[in-house]
Structures are given as structure tokens and as C-alpha cells.
Amino acid sequence: MLLVAIAIVFLAACFAGLFWRLASRFDAQQCTAEWLDRFSVKSYAPMERLLDSNDLAFLASQPGYRPEIGKRLMAERRKIFRAYLRLLVRDFNQLIGIGKLMVVYSNLDQHEFARSLGRQQVQFYARICALQVQLALHPLGWTSVDARDLLAALGDMRTKVRQMTSAGPALAQWA
């Protein structure tokens, strides 16, 4: 009976959360053409080098180097990397949002595209989680923090959204 009560409370909480989200829907007004024109995966290129151990090795070879300097440098770089990561997730979500808008308002059934969007989203978030774990282990000596997969996923998403536009007619007429 206790398990049933817990399940009911959990379901009620799920419903409450869903209805709150339904009442505060996705902001289509943020998905502007200007944003899409400005968007470029290249702006995230610095992420590929930020945590590169070669920089630390070079610094260590310099006279007057102390380990504290290296630690402080990498801590600051991790902070910058995390900031980039937040922006990257935001931009990815924005692209997903545009993709979903196109699915909803398309004249043709976009089942394959919708499925691909969902798959990419799951894979992207899984990579983000893995990267966060790697970042957490970085101070302990974990050196292979690699953002290239994520940047490739972002580029893929941008390409898919483009392909969707080129594959079919323009967006649905609003009834």
C-alpha cells in the first residue's frame, strides 16, 4: 500500500510538472532567422584546444614554473570550458527547437526527421553527461577531455535542419 501511495504521489508530481510545462510553452519567438544566420559551429573551435595537455607541457618547460601555476591555469580553463559547454547546450537546444517547429508545422509527414531529432538529442545529452564526468575527473589527472564529438553533433544537427528545408515544401499554411 505504501508503494502504491508513493507511485500515486510520483504520478501526481509528473502531471503537475507536465501541465506547468504545457502552460509555459516553448518560445518560438527566440527561434529567429537572425539567430540562425549568426550561428556557426566554428565559434566553438577553441573548445578543442582549451584542455590540451600540450599547453601545460610547454608551460612546465619554462623557467620559474611551479605546479601551482599549472593547476591555476587548468582550473581557469576548465571554468571557460564549462561556460562554452553551457552555450553549446543552449545552441543545440535552439536548433532542436527549430527542428521541432519545422516538424509540427510541415505540410508533409516528417516522421523520419522527428525520429532522427529525438535520437540525436538523446546521443547529445549522453555525450554532455560523459563530458561532465571527464571534466570532474580532469583535476585528478584525467586528460582525455574531448569536445570534438559534441561539436560534430552540433554540426550534424545544423545540417539536418538544413536538409529538412531542402527536402520538402515550405512550412504549412496556418489554418
Partner 1 sequence: MHQLPIEQQILLVVEIAALAILCLRIWLIGLHRVYVYFFGFLVLELLQALIPVLVPLESRLYRDSYVASEAFILAFFALVVLELYSKVLRDLPGIAGTARRYIKATLALAIVVALLLLGLGKAQATVTGYLSSFEQTVMSSLVVFVLLVSAFLVYYPVPLARNVIVYLMGYAVFFLTNATVFLTIDLGHYWNRQLGSIIMGVEAVCFIFWLLALSRQGEYKRVVVGHQWNPADEQKLRAQLDAINASLLRAIRK
Contacts of 134 (CB under 8 A, 6+ apart): 142, 144, 145, 146
The span from the CA of 132 to the CA of 138, in Å, is: 10
Q: Is 174 in the site for partner 1 (CB under 8 A)?
A: yes
> 1 or 140: whose CB is closer to partner 1?
1
Q: Is 109 in the site for partner 1 (CB under 8 A)?
A: yes
> 33 or 140: whose CB is closer to partner 1?
33
Q: Is 73 in the site for partner 1 (CB under 8 A)?
A: no
The span from the CA of 127 to the CA of 122, in Å, is: 9
In the complex, minimum distance from the CB of residue 106 to partner 1, in angstroms, rounded to a whole number? 3
Q: Is 172 in the site for partner 1 (CB under 8 A)?
A: yes
- Positions that interact with partner 1 (CB under 8 A): 1, 4, 8, 11-12, 14-15, 18-19, 21-29, 31-33, 36-37, 97-98, 100-111, 114-115, 161-162, 165-166, 170-172, 174-175
